[in-house]
């Protein structure tokens, strides 16, 4: 299984800057052992797609989706709309959406099912707050979020999901999770996936996210059970992100 690195620009870069980023990143020398995707704002998907041309790297990802195919849902974007741009992945349940927009486990589950039906791989984001970790509730919280999110997903191998463990206290703070703590959490996540999907659960990529940068990415990717990383701020500069990708696979 190739390691997977997903860049999440969050609310950065409209169409002009998005196109420039893609063109610059295409000039970067990238390890063949990596699968690389970039999650761009909805308004920038057309420009990103156009700047990619026939290039296969990076793959396109979206940052959110609604669960209905169409209808009276002003301001929302459906999985079918994302599919028109050749979107390969879509984030769901990111902690920023849970915190600022009230996104619930039920909503995350509905979005994941809708994406799977459309053939887009949902990237299910889960993670505990600092207070929950201090109380020793981190494993319980993450297991519950994941169990709820995958409840309606099918394990037939069609458009398998990705899981991204992002401890809320590590996102954008510079306080990255230790590799030992990340390993423990990823083992717990893997156990939930295997219980739900059987052997397929062993093949679902489980990523780590939270203050990932060039200093720690290789350590995370060399840790058992970590199949890739979700990168935030360190992905905003295409050259620095290219360096991060090369650093991830030093051999």
Active site residue 12: no
| CB-neighbour burial class of residue 104 (10 A; exposed 0-12, middle 13-18, buried 19+) | exposed
Output the furthest CA–CA distance in the chain (Å, rounded): 51
- pLDDT tens string 232-244: 999 999 999 999 9
Instruction: List the catalytic residue out of 35, 128, 145, 166.
Output: 166
Q: What is the pLDDT along the chain (251 residues), one digit of tens a residue?
A: 789 999 999 999 999 999 999 999 999 999 999 999 999 999 999 999 999 988 889 999 999 999 999 999 999 999 999 999 999 999 999 999 999 999 999 999 999 999 999 999 999 999 999 999 999 999 999 999 999 999 999 887 665 899 999 999 988 888 889 999 999 999 999 999 999 999 999 999 999 999 999 999 999 999 988 999 999 999 999 999 999 999 998 76
Six-digit token string for 70: 């169409």
Domains of the chain: 3-248 (3.20.20.70)
Relative to beta strand 89-92, strand 59-62 is: parallel
**Tokens 């050259």 found at:** 239
Rounded-to-integer distance, Cα 104 and Cα 144, Å: 12
pLDDT at residue number 154: 87
Q: Which of 35, 94, 96, 186 is catalytic?
A: 94
Task: Return the pLDDT at 224.
Answer: 82
pLDDT for 173: 86
pLDDT recorded at residue 159: 59
53 Cβ contact partners less than 8 Å away, ≥ 6 residues apart: none
CA distance 120 to 89: 5
Degrees to nearest 5, angle at CA 23 with 41 and 48: 30
Query: Taking a C-beta distance cutoff of 8 angstroms, is the pair 128, 168 a contact?
Result: yes
Q: Is 94 a catalytic residue?
A: yes
Model pTM score? 0.96
């Amino acid at each position: 299984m190739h390691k997977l690195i997903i860049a999440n620009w969050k609310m950065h870069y409209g169409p002009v800057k998005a196109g420039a980023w893609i063109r610059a990143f295409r000039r970067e020398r990238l390890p063949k052992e990596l699968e690389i995707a970039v999650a761009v704002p909805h308004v920038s998907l057309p420009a990103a797609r156009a700047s990619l041309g026939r290039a296969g790297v990076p793959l396109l990802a979206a940052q959110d989706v609604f669960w209905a195919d169409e209808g009276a849902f002003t301001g929302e974007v459906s999985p079918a709309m994302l599919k028109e741009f050749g979107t390969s992945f879509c984030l769901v349940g990111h902690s920023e959406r849970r915190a600022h927009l009230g996104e619930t486990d039920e909503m995350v589950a509905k979005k994941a099912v809708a994406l799977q039906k459309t053939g887009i791989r949902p990237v299910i984001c889960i993670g505990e707050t600092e207070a929950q970790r201090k109380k020793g509730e981190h494993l319980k919280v993450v297991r519950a979020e994941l169990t709820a999110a995958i409840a309606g997903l099918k394990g037939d191998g069609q458009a398998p999901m990705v899981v991204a463990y992002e401890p809320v206290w590590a996102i954008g703070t510079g306080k990255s999770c230790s590799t030992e703590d990340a390993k423990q959490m990823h083992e717990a996540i893997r156990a939930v996936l295997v219980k739900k999907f059987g052997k397929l659960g062993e093949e679902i990529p489980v990523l780590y996210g939270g203050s990932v940068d060039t200093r720690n990415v290789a350590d995370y990717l060399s840790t058992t059970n970590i199949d890739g990383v979700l990168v935030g701020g360190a992905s905003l500069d295409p050259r620095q992100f290219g360096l991060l990708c090369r650093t991830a696979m030093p051999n």
